[in-house]
């Protein structure tokens, strides 16, 4: 059974005769703006709420906008808004150049919690301002080059990840993104895989390498930006003569990690079963999957 949050049809059925008669009068007179019916409604509303004057406008959004203008709200002002409200409550404030201050609502009334209606404290975050020096990053890449050899089934990417000092436990650059630097040597092939994270690659130095995304070969050159959509097969190979370095950016990584949906598949391995004379009986493709995130074990590299 579906219980609607707001059943306007039920309200209309109760007042149908009265509403239809009033609307019919407006249609017969053609007085859609102002007119006697509009004036009567304004008078009745003023008596109902105890106001000296009431002005009817075409929408709730305009009503909010005119009210804020009447109060002189503009740039430099802050307006407290309940978290449970329609978008117009906040959008008209921004339209006037003022700042929106969201305050939680009471559980019983769903209105602003007056005990917390004062200006909230400034936002807090564990992310710390930090500077990663290029010389330090490049030296780390060169050290990794000497110690790590890329090969299928072993280490598949050579990556230096930028971990924010305020968030060492989740190894993210900030709470909204993961950034790292990758180096590939001439002649190396980083085996294909795919993952639920989308990726961007901004090429910093070198030439002759390429990335293959879903069968499309994309040659890398300085200054290029390459996008890898989520769950797309991709591999990297280097046919040039000097090391290639690029920035890896994963802007969906924190969300995937939080939801424990950071899944990766390695390139399938083809296994052939044949008779003694070499006749192929059948072939099987095997996949090796990895899942990363809180509470998940991981094998191999998690991105790239």
CATH code for the domain in which residue 73 is found: 3.40.640.10
Residues 105 and 162 in one domain: no
Locus of tokens 């002189």: 72
The tally of domains found in the chain comes to 2
- Is residue 82, in this structure, part of any structural domain at all? yes
Do 96 and 155 belong to one domain? no
Asked if 165 and 130 touch (Cβ cutoff 8 Å), the reply is yes
> Do 95 and 201 share a domain, yes or no?
no
Looking at the fold, whether 140 and 107 belong to one and the same domain comes out as no
My answer on whether 145 and 230 are in the same domain is yes
For the whole model, what pTM was predicted? 0.52
In this structure, the answer to whether residues 155 and 189 fall within a common structural domain is yes
201-235 confidence digits (pLDDT tens):
999 999 999 999 988 999 999 999 999 998 888 99
Tally of CB atoms within 10 A around 122: 6
What pLDDT is stored for residue 251 in this prediction? 80
pLDDT at 74 over 90: no
Q: Within 10 A of 161 (CB to CB), how many other CB atoms are there?
A: 15
The answer to whether residue 300 is domain-embedded is no
Q: How confident is the model at residue 282 (pLDDT cuts 50, 70, 90)?
A: low
Q: Do 217 and 157 share a structural domain?
A: yes
Do 27 and 97 share a domain, yes or no? yes
Q: How far apart are alpha carbons 8 and 123 in whole angstroms? A: 39
146 in the same domain as 222: yes
Other beta carbons within 10 angstroms of residue 90's beta carbon come to: 18
Q: How many CB atoms neighbour CB 189 within 10 A? A: 16
Residue 120 pLDDT greater than 70, yes or no: no
What is the distance between the alpha carbons of residues 75 and 175, in angstroms, rounded to a whole number?
Answer: 30
């Amino acid at each position: 059974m579906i219980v609607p949050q707001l059943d306007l049809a039920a309200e209309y059925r109760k007042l149908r005769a009265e509403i239809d008669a009033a609307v019919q009068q407006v249609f017969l007179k053609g007085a859609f703006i102002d007119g006697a019916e509009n004036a009567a409604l304004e008078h009745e509303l003023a008596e109902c709420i105890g106001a000296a004057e009431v002005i009817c406008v075409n929408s709730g959004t305009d009503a909010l906008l005119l009210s804020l203008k009447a109060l002189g709200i503009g740039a430099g002002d802050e307006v407290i808004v309940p978290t449970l409200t329609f978008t117009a409550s906040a959008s008209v404030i921004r339209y006037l150049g003022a700042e929106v201050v969201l305050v939680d609502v009471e559980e019983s009334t769903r209105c602003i919690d007056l005990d917390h209606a004062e200006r909230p404290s400034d936002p807090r975050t564990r992310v710390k301002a930090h500077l990663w020096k290029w010389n330090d990053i490049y030296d780390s890449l060169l050290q990794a080059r000497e110690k790590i050899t890329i090969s299928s089934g072993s280490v598949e990417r050579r990556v230096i990840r930028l971990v924010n000092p305020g968030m060492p436990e989740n190894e993210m650059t900030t709470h909204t993104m993961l950034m790292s630097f990758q180096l590939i040597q001439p002649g190396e092939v980083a085996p294909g895989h795919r993952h639920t994270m989308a990726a961007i690659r901004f090429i910093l130095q070198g030439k002759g390498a390429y990335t293959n995304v879903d069968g499309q070969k994309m040659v890398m050159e300085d200054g290029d930006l390459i996008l890898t959509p989520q769950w797309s097969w991709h591999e990297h190979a280097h046919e040039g003569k000097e090391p290639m370095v690029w920035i890896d950016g994963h802007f969906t990584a924190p969300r995937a990690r939080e939801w424990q949906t950071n899944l990766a598949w390695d390139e399938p391995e083809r296994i052939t079963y044949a008779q003694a004379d070499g006749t192929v009986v059948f072939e099987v493709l095997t996949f090796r999957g990895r899942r990363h995130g809180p509470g998940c074990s991981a094998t191999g590299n998690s991105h790239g």
